[in-house]
Amino acid sequence: MRKLVSILSPVYWTTAKEIGEAVNGFTLTDAVFKRETQVEFATGEILRMTHIARGLDSDGALLLDVVVSGHVLQLQAVADVCVKDYTEDYIQTGPGQLYAQSTRLFTLDGVSVPYTWNHTITYDYTKGKMPFLVETLHASSITTEYNPLEETVAFRIHASIAKGDRSNQCPVGFGLDSTGPYCSDEDECAVRNPCSHTCHNAMGSYYCSCPKGLTISADGRTCQDIDECALGGHTCRAGQDCENIIGSYRCVVRCGNGFRRTADGFSCQDVNECQESNSCHQRCFNTIGSFHCGCDPGYQLKGRKCVDINECETRDTCQHECRNTLGSYQCACPSGYRLTPNGKTCQDIDECLEQNINCGSNQMCFNMRGSYQCIDTPCPPNYQREPLSGFCLKNCPANDLDCDLSTYALEYKLLSLPFGIAAGQDLIRLVAYTHDQVVHPRTTFSMADEDPAIPFALRDENLKGVVFTTRPLREPKTYRMGVRALSYSVDGNVEYRTTFIVYIAVSAYPY
| Structural domains of the chain in order of their starting residue, each with its CATH number | 5-185 (2.40.155.10), 310-348 (2.10.25.10), 353-506 (2.60.40.60)
Residue 450, pLDDT above cutoff 90:
no
Helix (H, G, I), strand (E, B) or coil at 155: strand
CB-based contact 203:120 (threshold 8 Å): yes
Q: Looking at the DSSP assignment, which residues form a beta bridge with residue 16?
A: none
| Cα gap 399→405, rounded to integer Å | 12
pLDDT at 212: 86
DSSP state, residue 492 = S
pLDDT at 91: 94
Residue 240, pLDDT above cutoff 70:
yes
Residue 386, pLDDT above cutoff 80:
no
Q: Is 316 exposed, middle or buried (0-12, 13-18, 19+ CB in 10 A)?
A: exposed
Query: Helix, strand, coil shares of the chain as percentages rounded to 5?
Result: 5, 50, 45
- Per DSSP, the residues of 169-230 read SPPTTEEEETTTTEEEEP-HHHHT---SSEEEEETTEEEEE--TTEEE-TTSSSEEE--HHH
Give 92 or 148, the one with higher predicted confidence: 92
What is the arithmetic mean of pLDDT over 35-56?
88
Residue 444, pLDDT above cutoff 90:
yes
| Cα gap 304→257, rounded to integer Å | 12
Listed range (130-139, 433-442, 480-489) with the worst mean pLDDT: 433-442
CB-based contact 209:197 (threshold 8 Å): yes
As a dihedral over the C-alpha atoms of residue 428, residue 433, residue 438, residue 440, rounded to 10 degrees, the angle is -90
Residue 423, pLDDT above cutoff 90:
yes
CA 128 to chain CA centroid, nearest Å:
63
What is the arithmetic mean of pLDDT over 189-211?
88
Listed range (77-81, 96-100, 418-422) with the worst mean pLDDT: 77-81
Residue 393, pLDDT above cutoff 70:
yes
pLDDT digits (tens, 9 = 90+) for 247-265: 888 899 988 887 888 888 8
Whole-angstrom CA distances from 497 to 98, 218, 319, 401, 466 are 119, 94, 45, 18, 17
Q: Looking at the DSSP assignment, which residues form a beta bridge with residue 372?
A: 367
User: In the chain, what percentage of residues exceed pLDDT 90?
Assistant: 37
* Strands annotated E in 275-406: 282-287, 290-295, 299-302, 305-308, 321-325, 328-332, 337-339, 346-348, 363-368, 371-376, 383-385, 392-394
Q: Is 172 exposed, middle or buried (0-12, 13-18, 19+ CB in 10 A)?
A: exposed
| Cα gap 500→428, rounded to integer Å | 12
Other Cβ atoms within 10 Å of 446 Cβ, number? 13
pLDDT at 401: 57
| Cα gap 320→208, rounded to integer Å | 67
> Which residues have C-beta within 8 Å of that of residue 104, sequence separation ≥ 6?
5, 83, 84, 86, 114, 115, 116, 117
| Cα gap 329→298, rounded to integer Å | 9
Helix (H, G, I), strand (E, B) or coil at 398: coil
What is the arithmetic mean of pLDDT over 30-48?
88
CB-based contact 1:103 (threshold 8 Å): no
What is the arithmetic mean of pLDDT over 93-102?
92
pLDDT at 76: 67
What is the arithmetic mean of pLDDT over 384-388?
72
Report the length, in residues, of the chain: 511
Listed range (117-126, 375-384, 474-483) with the worst mean pLDDT: 375-384
Whole-angstrom CA distances from 426 to 458, 463, 508 are 10, 15, 20
Give 209 or 289, the one with higher predicted confidence: 209
Identity of residue 208: C
Hey, CA dihedral for 378, 381, 385, 389, is it positive or negative? negative
End-to-end CA distance of the chain: 89
- Characterize the bridge pairing of strands 346-348 and 17-18: unpaired
Q: What is the pTM of this model?
A: 0.47
pLDDT digits (tens, 9 = 90+) for 453-466: 899 999 999 889 99
As a dihedral over the C-alpha atoms of residue 397, residue 398, residue 399, residue 402, rounded to 10 degrees, the angle is 20
pLDDT class of 494 with cuts at 50, 70, 90: confident
Residue 503, pLDDT above cutoff 90:
yes
Phi and psi angles of residue 94, each rounded to the nearest 5 degrees, phi first: 175, 180
| Cα gap 465→396, rounded to integer Å | 27
pLDDT digits (tens, 9 = 90+) for 297-322: 888 878 767 788 888 887 678 988 88
pLDDT at 403: 60
Other Cβ atoms within 10 Å of 423 Cβ, number? 11
pLDDT at 398: 62
Angle at 174 between CA 171 and CA 178, to 5 degrees: 105
Helix (H, G, I), strand (E, B) or coil at 444: strand
Q: 457: closest CA among 431, 425, 409?
A: 425
Give 331 or 379, the one with higher predicted confidence: 331
What is the arithmetic mean of pLDDT over 258-274?
83
Mean of per-residue pLDDT scores for the chain: 85
pLDDT at 205: 86
